[in-house]
Amino acid sequence: MTSSGHMTRRGLLGALLAGGATAALAAPTETLRPVLRPVTQRSADALLSARPVLRSTAVDLIREAGLAGQTGFIIADAATGEILEAVEPDVQRPPASVTKAVTALYARETMGADYQFITRVLATGPIVDGVLRGDLILAGGGDPGLATDDLAVLAAAVAAAGVTEVQGAFHVWGGALPGVKEIEPGQLDQLSYNPSLGGLNLNFNRVYFEWQRGSDGYDVTLDARSATLRPAVTVARMDVVDTSGPVYTYTEGPGVDNWTVARRALGNAGSRWLPVRFPALYAAEVFRTLAQDAGIALPAGKTIQELPDGTEIARHVSAALDPIIRDMLRYSTNLTAEALGMTATATRVGGAQELRTSASLMADWTTDRAGVSPTFVDHSGLSDANSISARDMMTLLTAPGVSDQLKPLLRSVVMVDDARRAIPDMPGSVSAKTGTLNFVSALAGYATTGNGRRLAFAIFSHDPDARAASRGSLDERPAGASGFNGKAKRLQQKLLQHWLILGDITG
């Protein structure tokens, strides 16, 4: 350790060497071990006098983490597919948000890296002296990243087209994708990462709830904020109530989300995002407000099931697919994953499919692509009914053409010590997708050693009994979940640091 407490490369390697001397005497049968080779002409600081390296095994590290029987691990040479080490690699476990890496590949190979989503405004009649003699239609194209600021630009474009008034109706259409009220039924109502989904989505289908204690109680606001705007909304409503029950309750009204929050939980001030269950009506209300700001008088929006013919008078074009995927993998946005997966399926089979059907078709595609057998019920990993083995995930990662597409889109994973401090002189690098649910922790991707050897790996940890027991909890963070996930993340670090230093020795 250095004087500041950071573990140096010498200290880390010394710990690995010390742990490996005894482990090498009785290698566990479930671990595939590489053949150790003598090390020559390496720096004394890095490899301690250039003597043969004996190292501890993944089984040892998993056992020390207290996750034996709950973790599947595999690491292989990414170029050859040669398995370097494996522990329970064939047990199917939930991948959590690692599923998004599969979805990214599925969408990219189906739709192309340059695919863009288009949101349009249509008119069903002529514009005469500023009056649209027909209906105005806001038509979604499945864009998962549409934001309030984008709607403001669309409203300004409609005004620039000469519209100041609409004689007919204002309609919104979200039929580009089948709608769902929540991605994973059964989760707590207030979780904003489990929103609705459809062909017209706004702000990841979330509304911003903010509160502040006043002299006569709480001042509460709900708005559709984005980078520059905060239009108020009424499609979501909040009441502060005196209750000893759940912090939040939800009931569905006619086109409106009705929430209550327990007064005892609020404190002086705060905020959080809440999910929206009527995404098209949410977008309609926000667009109407922004259109009025742009000088356009609009009636209240109504949803339509079929999109009529009309003349396009404005459009919003999303970013290309690769930046969308990169953000999805970085921020792990569930709505983006579902929109990408369902759009890819619609492109592949020639028509939109329900979410569960689309996820199953993505699993079939994965089987065809890499000869593996996962189970997917969504495209985001939000459900623990998704399952894949570590070996199958590694096989997909090393399938022809996959790493060249996926690795540049994955987020870098910093190597840290037990105190979560970055190790400044750690050799090599890691690019991977994380996945976290209560009592589920996953990581899969690529590691590059100091001498440039590329490895592919998958680490899946899961405590099924604890997760099942936590299902009835009204706590967003059930007892024991943070402890399990913390142990799993520390294990991931140890396994990767282990191989970053020693992976090139056996190459």
> CA-CA-CA-CA torsion for 285, 289, 292, 298, nearest 10 degrees?
10
Q: What are phi and psi of 155, to 5 degrees?
A: -60, -40
Question: In this structure, are residues 106 and 363 in contact, taking their beta carbons and an 8 Å threshold?
Answer: no
pLDDT at 507: 54
**What's the rounded Cα separation, in Å, for the pair 427 and 375?**
36
> Which residues are CB-neighbours of 113 under 8 A, at least 6 positions away?
320, 321, 322
Tell me the residue type at 470.
Answer: S
pLDDT at 245: 85
pLDDT at 2: 40
pLDDT tens for the 507 residues of the chain, in order: 443 333 443 343 333 333 333 333 233 333 333 333 333 333 333 333 322 333 579 999 999 999 999 999 999 999 999 999 999 999 999 999 999 999 999 999 999 999 999 999 999 999 999 999 999 999 999 999 999 999 999 999 999 999 999 999 999 999 999 999 999 998 999 999 999 999 999 999 999 999 999 988 999 999 999 989 999 999 999 999 999 889 999 999 999 999 999 999 999 999 999 999 999 999 999 999 999 999 999 999 999 999 999 999 999 999 999 999 999 999 999 999 999 999 999 999 999 999 999 999 999 999 999 999 999 999 999 999 999 999 999 999 999 999 999 999 999 999 999 899 999 888 899 999 999 999 999 999 999 998 999 999 999 999 999 999 998 787 888 999 999 999 999 999 999 999 998 765 555
Per the listing, tokens 């482990």 go with 23
> Which residues are CB-neighbours of 150 under 8 A, at least 6 positions away?
119, 316
Question: In this structure, are residues 287 and 234 in contact, taking their beta carbons and an 8 Å threshold?
Answer: no
Tell me the residue type at 412.
Answer: S
Per DSSP, 263 falls in state G
Q: Which long-range contacts (CB under 8 A, 24 or more apart) does 107-112 make?
A: 107/321, 107/325, 107/340, 107/341, 107/343, 107/344, 108/321, 108/322, 108/325, 108/405, 109/369, 109/405, 110/344, 110/345, 110/347, 110/348, 111/321, 111/343, 111/344, 111/347, 112/321
pLDDT at 506: 55
Q: Of the candidates 255, 151, 250, which has an alpha carbon nearest to the alpha carbon of residue 200?
A: 151
Q: Of the candidates 199, 96, 44, 49, which has an alpha carbon nearest to the alpha carbon of residue 461?
A: 96
**What's the rounded Cα separation, in Å, for the pair 97 and 106?**
15
**What's the rounded Cα separation, in Å, for the pair 160 and 315?**
12
Instruction: Give the N- to C-terminal CA distance of the chain in Å, as an integer.
Output: 29
Q: Of the candidates 328, 355, 493, which has an alpha carbon nearest to the alpha carbon of residue 419?
A: 493
* Domain 118-317, CATH: 3.50.80.20
Burial of 437: CB neighbours in 10 Å, binned 0-12, 13-18, 19+: buried
The DSSP code sequence of 295-332 is T-B-PPEEEESS----EEEEEEE---HHHHHHHHHHHT
Q: Would the pTM count as exceeding 0.85?
A: yes
Number of C-alpha atoms within 13 angstroms, CB side, residue 340?
Answer: 37
Quote the tokens at residue 334: 């569930």
**What's the rounded Cα separation, in Å, for the pair 103 and 325?**
9
Burial of 429: CB neighbours in 10 Å, binned 0-12, 13-18, 19+: middle
Quote the tokens at residue 196: 């609705």
Question: In this structure, are residues 289 and 282 in contact, taking their beta carbons and an 8 Å threshold?
Answer: no
The domain ranges of the chain are: 9-95+387-502, 118-317
pLDDT at 477: 87
* Per-residue three-class SS string for 112-177: CCCCCCEEEEEECCCEECCEECCCEEEECCCCCCCCHHHHHHHHHHHHHCCCCEECCCEEEECCCC
pLDDT at 503: 63
Quote the tokens at residue 218: 């709480």
**What's the rounded Cα separation, in Å, for the pair 445 and 457?**
6
